[in-house]
Amino acid sequence: MTALKKMGQGMRTVASDIAQGFFEITHNGFALLGLIVAFAVITMTARPDLREAGEVKLMAWLQERRVEMLGPQPEAEVEVVDRPMASDPKDLPKQQAAVAYWLSKKYRVAPEPLSALVAEAYDIGRRAKLDPTLILAVMAIESGFNPFAQSSVGAQGLMQVMTKVHTDKYENVGGHLAAFDPMTNLRVGVKVLQECISRAGSIEGGLRYYVGAANIEDDGGYAGKVIAEHVRLQQVANGRSASIATPRPAPAQAVGPIPVVAPAKPAPTQDEKVAGLY
């Protein structure tokens, strides 16, 4: 019994010495943290299941700390586009391919990105109940298929949408900078065009609203240009030929060659007559 008592006292003494030594070594908080991390790494290396559980808990803790420090953050914005920016015209239906090749040749734009725009115009036109060739005609007249075009009054992108006026339409698709994304600009432009036509009650009136000339007498020929291009695109889509060159106005008056007239000879003097020179 005495032996067991002495053994217990010895073990308590050893444990006390170990604990004292441990705390003396790790009295610094950083040293203690280092030991804990080291033990954790060894344990997680040996036990993958514990490592995965630890990673999940750590990420959850970090997210909670982030919310505490920064407050709730807005959700990530919706992806702007889920379609490719270019495609092979040969993969398009015959009608769309013809339109893409014609526009490519006329506006000197690569057929691949134009093919993607044509396909999108046909798709969104069907859903919006608008003729896709009208959508493409507006795009052609507005920007000549330059996605980075910007007017002096702030109209931007392929459809030259007034971004500051239609900010609400860009809120869920990436914000105002999405105006320079071709597909997003096309979609927003179609919404604006659809609203304008609905408001005016006709395509021509809607185009005047679209260009901002609804309340003035002269729209600068804008509606006529779009409608003329629309007609040409319809011809191409229906398999008929259409001129690529845009007709130019004839000159006001043709001017013919001006005849050259010799100057009149002066009348002879009396002396010249007497001398027989005349």
**In CATH, what number is assigned to the domain containing residue 123?**
1.10.530.10
65, 97: one domain: no
Q: What is the pLDDT of residue 122?
A: 96
What are the strands, taking DSSP E only, across 215-275?
none
Question: How buried is 230 (Cβ within 10 angstroms: 0-12 exposed, 13-18 middle, 19+ buried)?
Answer: buried
Could you tell me if residue 100 is inside a domain? Answer: yes
| Higher pLDDT pick, 190 / 28 | 190
Choose one of 70, 103, 129: the last residue of a domain. Answer: 70
Is 124 within 8 Å of 190 (Cβ atoms)?
A: yes
Report percent pLDDT > 90 for the chain. Answer: 36
Residues 103 and 232 in one domain: yes
Q: Are residue 216 and residue 94 in the same domain, yes or no?
A: yes
Number of domains in the chain: 2
pLDDT of residue 163: 75
Tens-place pLDDT, residues 195-214: 999 999 999 999 999 988 87
pLDDT band at 152 (very low <50, low <70, confident <90, very high): confident
**Mean pLDDT (whole number) for 231-260:** 66
Instruction: List the domain range (segments joined by +) for residue 40.
Output: 2-70
State whether 163 and 33 are in the same domain.
Answer: no
Note the pTM of the prediction, 2 decimals.
0.59
Question: Are 113 and 132 a contacting pair, CB within 8 Å?
Answer: no
Kindly state whether residues 141 and 46 are assigned to the same domain. no
Do 138 and 228 lie in one domain? The reply is yes
Query: Is pLDDT at 108 greater than 80 in this prediction?
Result: yes
If asked whether residues 121 and 203 sit together in one domain, one would say: yes
- Is 156 domain-assigned? yes
Confidence band (pLDDT; 50, 70, 90) for 164? confident
Q: Is 36 exposed, middle or buried (0-12, 13-18, 19+ CB in 10 A)?
A: exposed
Are 119 and 180 part of one and the same domain?
A: yes
266 falls within a domain:
no
Assess whether 224 and 129 both reside in one domain: yes
The per-residue pLDDT for range 45-68, each reduced to its tens digit, is: 666 666 666 666 666 666 666 656
Tell me the average pLDDT across 24-34: 54
Q: Which of 259, 278, 261 is nearest to 269 (CA)?
A: 278
At 230 the three-state DSSP class reads helix
pLDDT surpasses 80 at 142? yes
Q: Are residues 139 and 224 in the same domain?
A: yes
In the predicted model, is pLDDT for residue 96 greater than 70? yes
**How much is the pLDDT for 259?**
46
